[in-house]
A and B are shown apart, each in its own frame.
Chain A
Amino acid sequence: MPSQHKPYYNRTLMDFEQKTAMQLPNPETLLTDITTKIETQLNQAPSIGQCAFVGIHSGGVWLMQRILATLKLDIPYGTLDAALYRDDYAQRGLKAQSKPSNIAFNVQDKHIILIDDIFYTGRTTRAAMNELFDYGRPASITLAVLINRGGAELPILPNIVGAEILLNPKQSLQLSQDTKGKLHLSLEDNFSENDLLK
């Protein structure tokens, strides 16, 4: 597809494919795709010992666990919630369910692969990076996501993407994992636009 060949900073929303609920890509396929890209990235890193994975709750953590299992890597990894660093606290307070962040390794000077399921406005990434920096100074951060649904409101973009699609702004894209560990994507109606903060 032509859009894939343009450098990503030149791609605009016009290059994104419009999708409906019936046309959502298969997340398993996307996962395989980004796993390959992550593996390529890691091979280019100066030293694998200086790399680490951080997954953003909850989708990013599921993806991270699958990627770690597939690549059979023994590298440090952690989980982030970023709820305490969000920019919508003054309007909406704390989320009801927060899982604690857990970064047991030393962030200092590491090349971090930050993994999330869906990239939308970029605000979650901003919050996650702020929290990560409170743990230490990483050497670099690479953002890998399953889907970029267009609509970045900040100068932040993912480095590794499975698919770029446009969706109805009034619908929320959710990744879920069934009891057998298989990934599913679904579109749900929002009850208020304020809820969109990916």
Chain B
Amino acid sequence: MPTVSEAKPEAVLSNDEILRYSRHLIMPEVGMQGQQKLKAAKVLCIGAGGLGSPLSLYLTAAGVGTLGIVDFDVVDYTNLQRQIIHTTNDVGRKKLDSAAEKLKAINPFLNLRTFETKLTSANALDLFREFDIVADGTDNFPTRYLVNDACVLTGKPNVYGSIFRFEGQASVFATEDGPCYRCLYPEPPPPGLVPSCAEGGVLGILPGLVGVIQATETIKLILGAGESLAGRLLLVDSLAMKFRELKLRKNPDCPVCGKNPTITKLIDYEEFCGIRGQEEPAANDIPAISVEELKKKMDAKADIFILDVREPHEYQICNLKGYLIPVGDLPKRVNELDSSREIIAHCKMGGRSAKAVNFLRRSGFKKVYNLTGGITAWAEKVDPTMPKY
């Protein structure tokens, strides 16, 4: 972090900037020195989504001089419930374009650098070297481990935040003496155990809470002020509205930041997270039927039994008048099904119902098929009046 004695001439504040940052400047903990540090700082934000929205908005407003954002996604309607940097008019636009417009409007002094790319093992190290701090607002395990390892290898602090449903986690990883993400979680969960993103949901305000904690930690690292979350995992429970913290220790046997690291360069993170080669073939092996074929069967009044393996609250949003047994209840309710009939199982996207078909086939059901793409594909290809969620 540059100290004020090394403050570069470009970090000197203009009169307009002094007025803008007045409420910072009158606090001795920030002051002119701190505001110049903010202006000299270069922060890389991974993702312009739920966490990336409050992170980039507040860092920009606070006067961070250079902000990089990595994202290659496009704004869609389901983002708007929580990704507050994007508006209804931005649906269909690149998130980077949408975010850039808002951030430049908030603070024209910002030097914004956008990277329209997926963060990969091939580009992460070069990218991270150009910044002082990395703020991780990604939404998947391979990128989490990639960001962590690249931070350790380049010596950049990793300001971490993660959210799920009503709960969040935040910490600062990969500081010089502090633990890294792998010290906390050496391995990701196997993909079979984790349903996809769309199934769990998240409370809209939660990325606000956690993203602002990340912005706070980023600013504290730049100022060198206060007590960083390094070595602590903050747990946020929005339903109980409780904030708890757990102690984190640097693991001397950590494969990337330990005493004898075995990971000395970036690896294939999708393979590490078991995403490649494991899930795909299994899904392909499952007997399936398309929504168009199902429509034909229904129009022909064929004797088919539609099994809906979603949760009851999803059934309320939209349904195909199927028989509802949530996938988790299937083992104990399998006796409700007639194995002599043709059964077509569906969920929202086809993931849970693939598991259900797999289970039923192993339980001796021979005429059971997975509806490819789930009720979402039905809404897209057969019945456009059906809501998507």
**Binding partners A and B:** no
